[in-house]
Structures are given as C-alpha cells and as structure tokens.
Amino acid sequence: MATELILELLTKQSGTRLRQMRTQADAEIQRLQFEINYIDRALAEKSGASASQSKQNAEPASASDSGGRRESKRGPIKEIAQSEPAKVWRPAEIRQCLALRGIEITNAAARVTMRRMLDEGTFQRGPDGEGFQLASRNGSHLGDRAEPQETVFTEPLLTATGPQKGN
C-alpha cells in the first residue's frame, strides 16, 4: 500500500531530518492558512459582504489585536540559520526565507532580532565583522568544519514528479 511505502521511507530518515520536515510542513500549513484568509476576504468583498465581516477573517493587525503579544521570529530565524550553519546571513536574506514560510518581517525587524540573538549567544558576527552566523559551541567560527547537511526535498512528500522506477 502507498501509505506503507511512505512510512517506510520516512523511518529511514534521521530524527533531526524528520523534525525539519515537520517544521517545514507546519510552515507550509501556516502559509496556506494565511492565503485562505485573504482569499476568503476577497470572496466576501466580491459578494458584497460588509467590511466588518471580512475583517473578522483577517490576521491580527497589531500586537493588541492578537492579545498583546507578537509571535517571536527567533525560532524560525534559528531554523533557517541551522540549515546552513557556516553561512554568514544578512537580515534581508533571513527576511526572504521567512517570507517563503509565510512569515512577514521587515529587514529592520530581522536585523534587530538577529542582534538580540547575537547578544544571547545564538549568533556571532561573520569573519569580516558583517552579517550573522550561527555561533559555534567553542566560540570559534564553524568555517569548513560545519557538518554536512542532509538532502532537502523541496517538493511535497506525496507529489510524484515523473515516472517512478521500481527496485
């Protein structure tokens, strides 16, 4: 059965890789929910629904609208940096990666968050003093000693991209 094959393939992945896949799937679900909310708003406007009804389907506009707290971006930023530990990241690159996950942030907000993570020891400055890099455990730069990364699949798990060959 197809589901048995999927489970068999997944169990061959490392625990770290499975957690990464889960995080990516969660981010995709959030992105799709964000799109659905705006599609619903557009449909409501097309059908002549009141602005107050369509606003109820929208994402919270500010921290006060969401109960006084904004969602922390530190976790997703750290996950992105962990995908390439030796890379020196610029705030604009982090913003672009977050946008692909459906998380909106400005370059300035990314820079502020990354500076705070620098102060906490999550990041260190790049070798040239610019950008941000995951801090190594012993305080030195990771450089070429970074662990090799597993292959990242960008297509959904159940999407076949062409003819499949058996063993």
Please state the domain extents for the chain. Answer: 13-58, 72-147
The sign of the torsion formed by the CA atoms of 62, 108, 23, 72 equals negative
Sole residue written with tokens 């297509």: 155
Q: Which residue would you say has higher pLDDT here, 114 or 136?
A: 114
110 close to 94: Cβ distance less than 8 angstroms: yes
Instruction: Tell me: pLDDT of 8 over 80.
Output: yes
- In this prediction the pTM is 0.44
Judge whether 47 and 56 are in contact, CB under 8 Å: no
**Structural class in CATH, domain 72-147:** mainly alpha
- Residue 114 CB coordination number (10 Å): 22
Predicted pLDDT at 31? 83
The gap from C-alpha 57 to its chain's centroid, in whole angstroms, comes to 23
Please report, rounded to a whole number, the percentage of residues in the chain having pLDDT higher than 90.
28
